[in-house]
């Protein structure tokens, strides 16, 4: 693919230039809204806009058709400047049925554009969505610019003669909507045509129907007088360089592959399918050309167990899951702490407890990641802050796991996992060598002592099965310090417990210091971790534009905290911690540093809106 | 390379063996150490993985690589080792509780995948380390600390379970029979794929004489059915009993009562496990005539072999992966 956009036909309509636009596609879960949104995003990315996306869909594969519960949506913000979030209220809503309108009309800006599939607004669907009269006709949408387009009829007309007929034709109506939007945004539909040609190469009739519908939508915009103007969002003035658009799950998977190369190890990924982590397994399973060994285990416990075995055997061993799976892996992670083997546990957080809201976002596993094991079993915890950041964090998690011979928990969440953003490829640092030497010779007078530690890192040596002369046994029973035999000695257990804690605490000196953005001399520090980065940074930018003084710091290292963290905290009179949980980082700050941090907390299943964080900052500073 | 000449002593670790005096585990340990010395594979190539329970202390007593894992999860840990390191000989030493109760899920899946691991189940039909509760192989009605009115649980037949999960090598031995134990352990070692060996192991503290019908002087000849490949299945002091198939099930009959052609000729290499399964149903417990020896020794695709083939094929087709190309694979654009 390239970024060449073919010259468009001259536009006869009035053109509105905007610096940013928020578009939301909404329809039944079977209407193909995720695909329409993703394609719209890809085209915007290739065009050169900055963007951020937010897919939102029900947990059910096919929730009852036509109901509000079954609505699936995809929001994307495109802009000609550097943006951080998919935005709050939509400028444009595409509503494929009454339920989609019902669920999303309240999130459209006053005066915003609503493009509705008029054919779906018949009495049965209206009733299912809870409308007594047709909102397209009863004046209730008067505050918006409403375009009622008979998309189903037009899709049928467009696809005539392609060989696809009957109800199957209607499966292409998402492409009709996409084509129409492409016209509104003066975008070429060629990249999507190319994509369809590749995707449906083996189904020529489906390909033809989809392309015809896409073109039908585009031509409808051009040929009817319905749309009075088109919208132009220019290329973003991003930092020069080469970009791609990436989701968090994909970036994380690629980061693991890169980490294995940097560590000169083979990558083993043991996992059991779970929303929203499965796409990491899918991506890695494709990558046999990198020698990646994926293992779909019988359950979460086996995934963790096989991963620990692969670590013992000398691989970069990774398991991935979401909250419920992390609970099941907990016992194995304790064994990894005890045996001091390097492994990475990826937790793509979702809303809990229990099955909770499996397709929605939360940051509620922080304390569980840090403390959720039996016995005292400390381990490092890192968090990605955005889709692209997941790549670098995966490599960093591997570096720490290998250097310190410890399991590491890497926190992502549903917002990062499925959201996407442009990623400046030139920002990818050249891979550093993070390999650790395996021990191949006896380390003590002709003997191998598996718990003879490195003076600096306190990490134990890694001798692989198959190495002559270093045969040894490890396990979950307490080991004697240095020698590593089973030991029930009371003072030895005290020592080993302390050493395990020191080893992890010591990592604080081996991570970059916390950096403060904004007004370093402000009274207020807004502190966050994980996927709240975008909304917090967006809000801080807005209030600073108005002259308010605010500092911001965002934590990648959550256990241990960077060595300078306490010092940073002490500089600010007020510390505000926005979190998509009920105050877990705040709890840690208050207990570890005795600072009176205040929270902004939300557990609705949705990420923060920039405006919510902004309002709180203004309130705190008032 | 020099010829490896090991003795049993080379496989003994410096750790004191802490099983109860008279435990059947001692004999199994001796059999394994003996056999490993005889096999001649370099000592560092052996990895022994265990879970929790008396039998699971096994790795500590072997001077090889080993991991004492967590309850029930040894097959999962061993799977991760075997998949990524086909050069190693990976053994799971486990018990009836560890393998068939808390670890039941992992056992069946390791068997069906046919990962190259050897699972040795020390079946004493009781929980020893937790001091005497009934196990998933304890007989119904058994009086134990957790079943003072008799166990209500119906027990597993471990060999049936392994065959049902399509294990490609399945055998049964008895702790006291070191010759048979060493023979089936060796065959398991040589077999590529998942091997399952049940060893009747006497717990003289909590479940003494559980296998007396097979080991006692007065009873063993009547009850022990030795499975020998290619031989008709007959047993008893004078060969007076035989096993035939009747209505789809194996059945013990007086040898004299049937035509010799009706007697099952044991075929351990049969691809279809149905006859082996029927044989495993002859006894439960064991009570009465019980087959020992090899039930099944079949060739089946090995998990890690195919995994490696996939990697080789894809690398041949696409070339070895390049990360710079990968991060650009979804399309890029350039900001000037």
The answer to whether residue A432 sits within a structural domain is no
Whether A175 and A37 map to the same domain: the answer is yes
Helix/strand/coil for A33: helix
Q: Which parts of chain A register pLDDT below 50?
A: 1-11
Q: List chain B residues with CB under 8 Å of A235.
A: 335
The answer to whether residue A1 sits within a structural domain is no
Residues 377-436 of A with CB under 8 A from B: 391, 423, 425, 428, 431
A298: nearest CB among B66, B105, B330: B105
Domain end position, chosen among A206, A232, A258 = A232
- Here the tokens at position A370 are 């840090």
Please name the residue that has the structure tokens 């015809």: A212
Whether A80 and A205 map to the same domain: the answer is yes
Peptide bond into B286 cis (omega under 30): yes
Alpha-carbon gap: A593 to the closest alpha carbon of chain B (Å): 36
- Are the CB atoms for A80 and A237 separated by under 8 Å? yes
- Are the CB atoms for A325 and A338 separated by under 8 Å? no
- Scored b (16 or more CB within 10 A) or e, A329-354 reads bbbbbbbbbbbbbbbbbbbbbbbbee
Whether A607 and A580 map to the same domain: the answer is yes
pLDDT of residue A13: 61
Helix axes A300-312, B104-113, angle to 10 degrees: 70
For residues A312 and A462, give the distance between their C-alpha atoms in angstroms, rounded to a whole number. 8
Whether A504 and A523 map to the same domain: the answer is no
| CATH at residue A195 | 3.40.920.10
Are the beta carbons of A306 and B76 separated by less than 8 Å? yes
For A338, A475, A480, A499, B129, the CA distances from A486, given in Å and listed in that order, are: 12, 9, 6, 17, 17
For residues A53 and A30, give the distance between their C-alpha atoms in angstroms, rounded to a whole number. 20
Q: List chain A residues with CB under 8 Å of B306.
A: none
Looking at the complex, does the CB of residue A254 fall below 8 Å from at least one CB of chain B? yes
* Cα dihedral across residues A595, A598, A600, A603: positive or negative: positive
Strands B46-50 and B89-95: parallel
The residue among A422, A473, A484 with the most chain B CBs within 10 A of its CB, best to mutate, is A473
Whether A544 and A414 map to the same domain: the answer is no
Looking at the complex, does the CB of residue A339 fall below 8 Å from at least one CB of chain B? yes
Alpha-carbon gap: B289 to the closest alpha carbon of chain A (Å): 36
Task: Find, among A540, A533, A599, A600, the residue nearest to A383 by Cα.
Answer: A533
Are the beta carbons of A305 and B87 separated by less than 8 Å? no
Helix/strand/coil for A444: strand
- Are the CB atoms for A370 and A407 separated by under 8 Å? no
pLDDT of residue A163: 87
Query: Which residues partner with A423 through β-bridges?
Result: A244
Q: List chain A residues with CB under 8 Å of B80.
A: 268, 270, 295, 305-313, 317
For residues A391 and A84, give the distance between their C-alpha atoms in angstroms, rounded to a whole number. 17
The DSSP output letter for B102 is: I
Among all residues of chain B, which has the CA nearest to that of A42? B331
The answer to whether residue A99 sits within a structural domain is yes
Count other C-beta atoms under 10 Å from residue B150's C-beta: 12
H-run or E-run covering B189: helix B178-190
Whether A260 and A192 map to the same domain: the answer is no
Please name the residue that has the structure tokens 């006894």: B283
Q: Where are the domains of chain B?
A: 1-210+302-336, 211-292
Looking at the complex, does the CB of residue A375 fall below 8 Å from at least one CB of chain B? no
pLDDT of residue A63: 79
Q: List chain B residues with CB under 8 Å of A240.
A: 334-336
Whether A500 and A412 map to the same domain: the answer is no
Task: Find, among B37, B301, B299, the residue nearest to B186 by Cα.
Answer: B37
Instruction: Give the long-range contacts of residues A191-197, CB within 8 A, separation 24 or more.
Output: A191/A1, A191/A42, A191/A43, A191/A46, A192/A39, A192/A42, A192/A43, A194/A1, A195/A39, A195/A42
For residues A385 and A374, give the distance between their C-alpha atoms in angstroms, rounded to a whole number. 28
Whether A397 and A461 map to the same domain: the answer is no
Count other C-beta atoms under 10 Å from residue A602's C-beta: 20
Are the beta carbons of A313 and B81 separated by less than 8 Å? yes
- Scored b (16 or more CB within 10 A) or e, A266-287 reads bbbbbbbebbbbbbbbebbbeb
Q: List chain A residues with CB under 8 Å of B336.
A: 240
* Cα dihedral across residues A373, A377, A383, A388: positive or negative: negative
Looking at the complex, does the CB of residue A612 fall below 8 Å from at least one CB of chain B? no
pLDDT of residue B3: 62
Alpha-carbon gap: A463 to the closest alpha carbon of chain B (Å): 10
The DSSP output letter for B56 is: G
The answer to whether residue A465 sits within a structural domain is yes
Question: Could you tell me the strand order of the sheet in which A50-56 lies?
Answer: A50-56, A71-79, A20-28, A90-95, A108-117, A145-149
Whether A380 and A488 map to the same domain: the answer is no
Instruction: Return the CATH superfamily for domain B1-210+302-336.
Output: Thiamin diphosphate (ThDP)-binding fold, Pyr/PP domains (3.40.50.970)
Q: What's the pLDDT tens digit per position in B215-236? A: 999 999 999 999 999 999 999 9
- A-to-B residue pairs, Cβ atoms closer than 8 angstroms: 214
* Cα dihedral across residues A123, A126, A127, A131: positive or negative: negative
| CATH at residue A566 | 3.40.50.920
Whether A491 and A389 map to the same domain: the answer is no
Alpha-carbon gap: A389 to the closest alpha carbon of chain B (Å): 13
Q: List chain A residues with CB under 8 Å of B44.
A: 465-471
Alpha-carbon gap: B153 to the closest alpha carbon of chain A (Å): 25
CA-based Rg of chain A, rounded to a whole angstrom?
Answer: 27
For residues B308 and B76, give the distance between their C-alpha atoms in angstroms, rounded to a whole number. 19
- Here the tokens at position B115 are 């990962």
Domain end position, chosen among A232, A267, A291 = A232
Looking at the complex, does the CB of residue A246 fall below 8 Å from at least one CB of chain B? yes
Are the beta carbons of B331 and A242 separated by less than 8 Å? no
pLDDT, averaged per 10 consecutive residues of chain B (336 residues), comes to 80 95 96 96 98 96 98 98 98 98 98 98 96 95 96 97 98 97 98 98 95 94 97 97 97 97 98 97 90 97 98 98 94 85
For residues B132 and A308, give the distance between their C-alpha atoms in angstroms, rounded to a whole number. 31
Whether A219 and A281 map to the same domain: the answer is no
Count up the domains in chain A and report the number.
4
For residues A461 and A213, give the distance between their C-alpha atoms in angstroms, rounded to a whole number. 62
The answer to whether residue A21 sits within a structural domain is yes
Count other C-beta atoms under 10 Å from residue B7's C-beta: 11
Q: Which domain holds residue A458?
A: 437-510
B332: nearest CB among A235, A242, A270: A242
| ipTM topping 0.85 | yes
Domain end position, chosen among A510, A544, A560 = A510
> What is the pTM for the complete model shown?
0.93
Q: List chain A residues with CB under 8 Å of B45.
A: 465-466
pLDDT of residue A5: 36
The answer to whether residue A3 sits within a structural domain is no
Are the beta carbons of A289 and B314 separated by less than 8 Å? yes
B85: nearest CB among A236, A313, A391: A313
- Are the CB atoms for A514 and A555 separated by under 8 Å? yes
């Amino acid at each position: 693919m390239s970024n060449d956009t073919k010259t468009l036909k001259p536009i006869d309509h009035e053109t509105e230039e905007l610096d940013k636009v928020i578009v939301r596609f909404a329809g039944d879960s079977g209407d193909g809204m995720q695909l329409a949104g993703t394609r719209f995003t890809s085209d915007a990315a290739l065009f050169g806009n900055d963007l951020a996306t937010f897919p939102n869909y029900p947990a059910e594969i096919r929730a009852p058709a036509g109901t509000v519960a079954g609505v699936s949506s995809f929001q994307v913000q495109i802009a000609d400047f550097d943006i951080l979030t998919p935005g709050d209220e939509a400028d444009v809503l595409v509503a494929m049925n009454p339920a989609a309108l019902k669920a999303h009309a309240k999130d459209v800006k006053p005066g915003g554009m609503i493009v509705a599939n008029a054919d779906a607004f018949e009495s049965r669907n209206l009733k299912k969505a809870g409308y007594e009269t047709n909102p397209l006709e009863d004046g209730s949408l008067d505050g918006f610019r409403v375009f009622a387009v008979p998309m189903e009829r037009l899709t049928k007309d467009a696809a005539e003669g392609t060989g696809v007929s009957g109800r199957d034709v209607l499966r292409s109506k998402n492409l009709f909507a996409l084509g129409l939007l492409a016209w509104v945004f003066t975008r070429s539909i060629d990249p999507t045509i190319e994509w369809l040609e590749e995707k449906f190469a083996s189904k020529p009739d489906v390909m033809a129907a989809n392309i015809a519908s896409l073109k039908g939508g585009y031509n409808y915009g051009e040929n009817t007088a319905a749309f009075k103007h088109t919208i132009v969002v220019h290329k973003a003035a991003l930092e020069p360089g080469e970009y791609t658009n990436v989701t968090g799950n994909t970036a994380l998977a690629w980061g693991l592959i890169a980490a294995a190369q940097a560590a000169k190890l083979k990558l083993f990924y043991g996992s059991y399918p779970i929303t929203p982590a499965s796409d990491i397994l899918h991506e890695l399973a494709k990558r046999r050309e990198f020698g990646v060994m994926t293992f779909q285990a019988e359950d979460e416990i086996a995934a963790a167990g096989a991963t620990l075995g692969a670590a013992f055997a000398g691989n970069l061993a990774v398991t991935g899951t979401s909250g419920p799976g992390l609970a099941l892996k907990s016992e194995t992670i304790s064994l990894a702490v005890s045996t001091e083997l390097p492994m990475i546990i990826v937790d793509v957080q979702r809303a809990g407890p229990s099955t909770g809201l499996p397709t929605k976002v939360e940051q509620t596993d922080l304390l569980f990641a840090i403390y959720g094991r039996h016995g005292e079993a400390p381990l490092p915890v890192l968090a990605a802050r955005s889709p692209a950041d997941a790549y670098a964090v995966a490599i960093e998690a591997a570096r720490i796991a290998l250097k310190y011979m410890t399991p590491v928990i890497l926190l992502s969440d549903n917002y990062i996992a499925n959201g996407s953003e442009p990623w400046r490829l030139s920002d990818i640092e050249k891979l550093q060598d993070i390999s650790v030497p395996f021990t191949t010779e006896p380390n003590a007078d002709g003997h191998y002592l598996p718990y003879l530690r490195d003076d600096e890192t306190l990490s134990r040596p890694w001798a692989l099965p198959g190495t002559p002369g270093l045969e040894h046994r490890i396990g979950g029973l307490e080991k004697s310090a240095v020698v590593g035999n089973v030991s029930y000695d009371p003072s030895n257990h005290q020592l080993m417990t302390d050493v395990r804690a020191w080893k992890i605490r010591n990592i604080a000196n081996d991570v970059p210091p916390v950096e403060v953005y904004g007004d370093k001399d402000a009274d207020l520090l807004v502190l966050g971790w994980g996927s709240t980065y975008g909304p917090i940074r967006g809000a801080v930018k807005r209030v600073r534009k108005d002259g308010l003084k605010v500092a911001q710091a965002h934590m990648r290292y959550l256990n241990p905290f960077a060595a300078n963290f306490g010092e940073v905290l002490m500089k600010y009179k007020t510390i505000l911690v926005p979190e998509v949980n009920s105050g877990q980082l705040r709890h840690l700050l208050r207990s570890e540093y005795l600072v009176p941090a205040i929270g902004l907390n939300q557990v609705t299943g949705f990420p923060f809106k920039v405006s919510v964080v902004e309002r709180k900052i203004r309130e705190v500073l008032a | 390379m020099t010829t490896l000449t090991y003795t049993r002593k080379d496989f003994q670790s410096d750790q004191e063996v802490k099983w109860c005096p008279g435990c059947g585990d001692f004999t199994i340990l001796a059999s394994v150490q003996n056999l490993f010395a005889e096999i001649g594979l370099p000592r560092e190539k052996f990895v022994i993985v265990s879970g929790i329970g008396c039998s699971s202390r096994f790795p500590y007593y072997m001077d090889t690589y080993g991991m004492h894992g967590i309850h029930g999860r040894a097959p999962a840990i061993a799977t991760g080792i075997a998949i990524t390191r086909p050069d190693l000989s990976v053994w799971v030493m486990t018990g009836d509780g560890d393998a068939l109760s808390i670890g039941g899920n992992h056992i069946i899946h390791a068997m069906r995948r046919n990962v190259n691991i050897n699972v040795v189940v020390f079946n004493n039909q009781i929980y020893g380390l937790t001091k005497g509760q009934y196990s998933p192989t304890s007989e119904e009605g058994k009086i134990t600390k957790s079943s003072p009115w008799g166990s209500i649980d119906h027990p597993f037949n471990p060999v049936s379970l392994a065959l049902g999960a399509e294990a490609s090598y399945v055998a049964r031995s008895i702790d006291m029979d070191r010759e048979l134990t060493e023979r089936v352990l060796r065959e398991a070692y040589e077999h590529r794929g998942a091997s399952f060996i049940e060893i009747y192991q006497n717990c003289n503290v909590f479940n003494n004489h559980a296998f007396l019908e097979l080991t006692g002087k007065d009873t063993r000849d009547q009850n022990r059915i030795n499975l020998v490949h290619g031989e008709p299945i007959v047993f008893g002091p004078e060969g007076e009993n035989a096993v035939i198939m009747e209505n789809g099930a194996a059945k013990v009959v007086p040898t004299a009562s049937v035509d010799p052609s009706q007697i099952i000729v044991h075929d351990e290499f049969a691809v279809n496990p149905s006859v082996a399964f029927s044989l495993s149903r002859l006894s439960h417990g064991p009570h009465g005539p019980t087959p020992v020896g090899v039930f099944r020794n079949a060739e089946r695709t090995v998990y890690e072999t195919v995994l490696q083939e996939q990697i080789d094929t894809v690398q041949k087709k696409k070339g070895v992966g390049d990360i710079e190309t990968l991060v650009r694979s979804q399309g890029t654009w350039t900001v000037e």
